[in-house]
Structure 1
Amino acid sequence: MPTDGPDAHRAPAPAPDADRSLAPDADRPLAPDDLDRAFGPDTGSTATRSGHRVRTAVLIGGGTVVVAGVIVLVLGTIVGSVQTGIGGVFPRPGTALDRFVSDARDLPGVTDVQRHRAEKTAFASYEVSATVTADPSLEPAARAELVRALSRATDEASGNGVHVVAIADLGVQQVGVTEHADTAARRLQLADTLDRIGGVTAVRCSWGRGAQSSDDAEDQAVVVETPGRGRAVPPIVARVTEETQRVFPGASVQVLPAG
Structure 2
Amino acid sequence: MVTDGTDPAGWPAADRQDDDLDRAFGPETASVQTRSRAQRARTWLAIGGGTVVVAGVIVLVLGTIVGTVQTGIGGVFPRPDMALDRLDGELDGVPGVTEVRHHQAEKTGFASYDATATITADPSLDAAARKDLVSTLSRAADSAGGNGVRVVAIADLGNLEVGVSESRAVTAKRLVLADRLDHIGGVTAVRCSWARGGTPSDRAADQSIVVETPGRGAAVPPIVARVTAETHAVFPGARVEVVAAG
- Report the TM-score range of the alignment, normalised by the length of the smaller protein: 0.7 to 0.9
Match of 2:24 in 1: 45
CA distance in 2, matches of 1:208, 1:184: 15
Instruction: Give, in whole Å, the separation in 2 of the partners of 1:49 and 1:61.
Output: 24
1:45 match: secondary structure:
helix
Deviation per residue, 1:153-201 (Å, 9 max, x gap): 1112222222211001111111000111100000001011111111111
With the length of structure 1 as denominator, give the TM-score of the two structures: 0.76
1:73 counterpart = 2:60 = yes
Cα distance in 2 for partners of 1:236, 1:58 equals 77
The one-letter code of the counterpart of 2:194 is W
Per the alignment, residue 117 of structure 2 pairs with: 130
Q: Mark the runs of 5 or more structure 1 residues left unpaired by the alignment.
A: 1-32
- Distance (Å, rounded) in 2 between the aligned partners of 1:250 and 1:113: 31
Decide whether aligned partners of structure 1 residues 34 and 106 sit closer, same or farther in structure 2, where only a CA change above 3 A counts. farther
SS at 1:190's partner residue? Answer: helix
Match of 1:174 in 2: 161
**Counterpart mapping for 1:149-228 below 5 A:** 149-228=136-215
> Which of these residues, 51, 63, 86, is aligned with residue 99 of structure 1?
86
**Segment of structure 1 superposing worse, 195-204 or 212-221:** 195-204
* Alignment pair present for 1:118 and 2:118: no
Q: Are the structure 2 counterparts of residues 63 and 89 from structure 1 closer, same or farther at C-alpha, using a change threshold of 3 Å?
A: farther
Equivalent in the alignment of 1:139: 126
CA distance in 2, matches of 1:42, 1:183: 95
Q: Is the 8 A contact 2:100 2:120 kept in 1?
A: yes
Identity %: 64
Q: Which residue of 1 aligns with 2:232?
A: 245
Query: For 1:46-87, what per-residue CA distance to the aligned partner results, in whole angstroms no more than 9, with x for missing partners?
Result: 364989xx9x99997776555434312211201221342222
Q: For residue 187 of structure 2, what is the amino acid of its counterpart?
A: V
Contact persistence 1:105–1:112 (CA under 8 A): no
* Aligned-residue offset at 1:38: 3.4
Structure 2: distance between partners of 1:42 and 1:144: 103
Alpha-carbon contact 1:105-1:111 (below 8 Å) kept: no
Residue correspondences, number? 226
Query: What CA deviation, in whole Å up to 9, does each residue of 1:202-226 have, x standing for no partner?
Result: 1110001110001110110111111
CA distance in 2 between partners of 1:110 and 1:74 (Å): 45
1:109–1:138 CA contact under 8 A, matched in 2: yes
The one-letter code of the counterpart of 1:38 is R
User: Is the 2:207–2:238 Cα contact (8 Å) retained in structure 1?
Assistant: yes
Taking a change above 3 Å as real, the CA distance of residues 63 and 230 of structure 1, as seen in their structure-2 partners, is: closer
Distance 1:159 1:35, change over 3 A: farther
- Per the alignment, residue 216 of structure 2 pairs with 229
Q: Contact 2:90–2:144 (CA<8 Å) still a contact in 1?
A: no
Structure 2: 5+ residue stretches without partners: 1-9, 27-31
1:100–1:42: structure 2 CA closer, same or farther, 3 Å change rule? farther
**TM-score, normalised relative to structure 2:** 0.80
Q: Which structure's CA Rg is the greater one?
A: 1
Distance of aligned partners of 1:67 and 1:199 in 2 relative to their CA distance in 1, 3 Å threshold: same
